[in-house]
Amino acid sequence: MITIIIAILFAWSITTFLLIRRNRRINNRIKFLSEAVAGGDFSFTFPEGNRRRSDRELAASLNRIRDMLSRTRQETIDKERYYAQILENVRTGIVAYDEQGFVTQTNRAAAELFGLPVLTHIRQLDRVSGGLADMLLVAAAGDTRTLTLHDVESTRQLSLQVSQSRIRDRNLRILVVNDIHNELDNKEIASWISLTRVLTHEIMNSVSPITSLSESLRTLVPDTSSELYKGLDVIHSTGRGIEGFVESYRQFTHIPTPAPTLFYVRGLVERAVQLVQSVPENTRIDFRWSVEPGDMLLHADENLVGRVLNNLLKNAVEAIGQENDGWVEVRGFLNERGDVVMEVSDSGGPIPPEVEERIFIPFFTTKTDGSGIGLSISRQIMRLSGGTLTLRTRPNTTFVMTFVR
C-alpha cells in the first residue's frame, strides 16, 4: 500500500514538474512575443517543427497572432500617413495644442496663414496678434474670432474657431483657421455686379428712346445747317456716347462662363508678350519672360486667361510711362503646392498704399481716361476659373495669378 502511495506521489510530482516546465515555456514565449511586439519587431518566427503536437499548435497560434498584430500595425501606420497627408495639403489651418499651450500637431496651411516658419507653442501667436495666445488658452469649444493681418505682400482676414477633444487622457484644443478675405471680396463683387446691372438697365432704358427719337427727327429737318438739326445731332451723338459708355460697364456683369481646356502655359505667355511687344510705342521697354517647367499645362479657359494676362501687361506698360530703361517681366512656375502661378512685374513707380487698398474695387481708377473695370474684370475671371488675382508691391509691383489645383 505504501509503495502504491509513493508511486502515485512520484507520478504526481513528475506531472506537476512537467506542467510547470511547460507553462513556464509557454509564458516565456508569450513574454517574448509581447516584448517584441511592443518594440515593433515582427521579424521573429516560432519554430513549428517540434515533436510534441501541443508545442506545434502553440507555435502556430503564436505565429498567427504575430501576423495579425503586424498587419494591424501596418494598417494603422498607413492610415496615419494617409490622414497626415490630407492634413498637410488642405488649405484650412489646423493647430492642436494642450492645456499648457504646447502644439501637438499642426499643418503647413496654419503656418502659412499665420506667417510663421514653425509653430511649437501657442505663445508664438502673440507675434501675430497681441493677446491671441491668452485668448486661445482659455477658449471654450465653439468660440470664434476674426483676425485681420497685414504684411508687405497681402492682407489676410482669418476666421478662428476652437473645439475641444480628449485623446489618451490629454485635454486638447483644436484651432481651425480659414482665410475669409476672398469670401468677403466675393460678396463685395456680387454687390457691385447687382448694382451695375440695375444702373445700366435703367440708363439704357432712358437713353435709347432719346437717341432713336433724335435720329428720326433729324431726317425730318431738311436744312442740315439749321440750329434745330445741329441740336438734334448733338443729342444723338451724346446718346450714342452714353450707350457706348454703359456698354463698357456691362462687360463687368456679363463675363462668359469659362470653358476649360488643357493648354501649355509657355505658348500663352509667349503670344501675350509678343503681342504687347509688337506695339511701336513699346519698343523702348525690355520685355522678359520665362516658364518653368517648359511643358507646364493648365486646365482653364485659355481665352479668358489670356484676356487677364493681356490686361496686366497693358497696365504694366502704362505704369512704366515714358521711362526709356523700363522693363516688364512675366514668370510662370509651380508653387510649393503644385499650383500654376503667373506673375507680371514691372519697373514702374510704387503704388501708394491708398491706391493699393482700392485697386480691385470696380470703377476705381487713377487714369484720366480709365473706366476702372479692367482689374475688377480680371479678378472676377480668375475667381470663375477657380483661381486668385493678388497684388504684391515689394520689391516691385507684381500682379500674381494663381490657379488652385
Q: What percent of the chain has pLDDT over 90?
A: 13
- Give the model confidence (pLDDT) of 160-190 as tens digits: 888 887 776 778 888 888 876 655 455 555 6
Which residues pair with residue 150 across a beta bridge? Answer: 155
Q: Which CATH class is domain 90-179?
A: alpha beta
Residue 316, SS3 per DSSP: helix
More confidently predicted of 313 and 355: 313
* Placement of cell 443729342 in the chain: 235
Q: Is the pLDDT of residue 252 over 70?
A: no
Which phi and psi (to 5°) does residue 399 adopt? -95, 130
Residue-level pLDDT at 12 = 47
Instruction: Tell me the range of 30-34, 117-121, 280-284, 342-346 where mean pLDDT is highest.
Output: 342-346
By C-alpha distance, which of 209, 207, 280 is closest to 241? Answer: 207
- Collapsing DSSP states into helix, strand and coil, what is residue 309? helix
Cβ-proximal residues to 198 (8 Å cutoff; 6+ apart), any chain: none
pLDDT mean over 216-233? 71
**pLDDT for res 289:** 94
pLDDT, tens only, 11-42: 444 444 444 455 566 666 666 666 766 777 76
Task: Write out pLDDT tens, residues 370-395.
Answer: 556 778 788 888 888 888 888 887 78
Cα distance from N-terminal residue to C-terminal residue, the chain: 93
Pick one of 3.30.565.10, 3.40.630.30, 1.10.730.10, 3.40.50.300 as the CATH number of 261-403.
3.30.565.10
The set of cell numbers assigned to 128 is 501675430
Which of 327, 331, 314 lies closest to 371 in space, CA to CA?
314
pLDDT for 333 beyond 90: yes
pTM recorded for the entire structure: 0.48
Domain ranges of the chain: 90-179, 183-253, 261-403
